[in-house]
Amino acid sequence: MKLTRLLPLAAIALASCTQKPAATTSETPAASPMIGTWKLVSAVTVTKGDTVKDYPVPNQEMLKILNDTHFAFMRHDLSKGKGKDATYTAGGGTYDFKGDKYTEHLAYLNAREWEGRDFDFTVMFKGDTLIQKGIEKIDSLNIDHEIIETYVKQK
């Protein structure tokens, strides 16, 4: 008699030990679409209604690299610093990204007067393409323009 009363309790205890964990604990969050290495393919600057195509530039390339918290970019000439068109630009910092809003907190740049500033952008993804659009405004440097940059994700 005692055994028949314990059997249902044992069955309940056994069933509770074999339940699968909740789905939320076993799923890994999806990676942000921002994360990766991006190659600049086009850049346009609009200042007071005047549009200037800034990129591509012959003999130059630029990459932007983003991880979960930081971004970095490098732009250089392909002639290894030789010649009249030698150039090198690099910068980086942290960023925030939510929805289509992307803010760069620029901590490092070879043009040091740009450091310590935030720049707000709207981003759009089309397959492996990232389009970044926003205002760069620094009153003390007389900078006030819109940029539109198009990047392609590198494999």
Q: Are strands 60-66 and 36-47 parallel, antiparallel or unpaired?
A: antiparallel
pLDDT tens, residue by residue, 53-104: 999 999 999 999 999 999 999 999 999 999 888 999 999 999 999 999 999 9
- Token pair 């397959």 in the structure block, residue: 127
CB atoms within 10 A of CB 8: 9
Q: Are strands 70-77 and 101-109 parallel, antiparallel or unpaired?
A: unpaired
CA 52 to chain CA centroid, nearest Å = 24
Between 5 and 136, where is the model more confident?
136
Give pLDDT, residue 12: 46
Q: Please name which of 55, 52, 93 lies closest in space to residue 76, comparing C-alpha atoms.
A: 55
For 113, the 3-state DSSP assignment is helix
Extract the tokens encoding 143: 């900078």
